[in-house]
């Protein structure tokens, strides 16, 4: 039952007064990059750190 409540909580985006949720969805050890999914009241986006040649951060839409 506790897992069901956790799944239902994760399915609904946070309200405007709640903090954003950050979840790591991927890591590439060979390149040293990490991909994070950020969900807020305004929407969802993905941030990839250390993705470019010089370790830039890329911000974009999340893969389906």
pTM of the model: 0.75
Strands (E), 1-64: 21-28, 33-40, 43-49, 58-60
Q: Which tokens is 47 given?
A: 């941030």
pLDDT in tens, 18-60: 999 999 998 887 777 889 999 999 999 999 888 667 778 889 9
Residue 64 has pLDDT above 90, yes or no: no
Indicate the Cα dihedral angle 28, 52, 63, 61, nearest 10°.
140
Question: Which residues, other chains included, contact 44 with Cβ-Cβ below 8 Å and sequence gap of 6+?
Answer: 13, 37, 38, 62
Residues 24/41, Cβ–Cβ less than 8 Å: no
């Amino acid at each position: 039952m506790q897992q069901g409540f956790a799944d239902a909580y994760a399915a609904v985006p946070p309200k405007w007064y709640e903090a954003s949720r950050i979840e790591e969805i991927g890591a590439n050890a060979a390149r040293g990059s990490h991909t994070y999914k950020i969900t807020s009241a305004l929407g969802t986006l993905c941030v990839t750190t250390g993705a470019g040649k010089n370790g830039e951060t890329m911000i974009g839409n999340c893969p389906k």
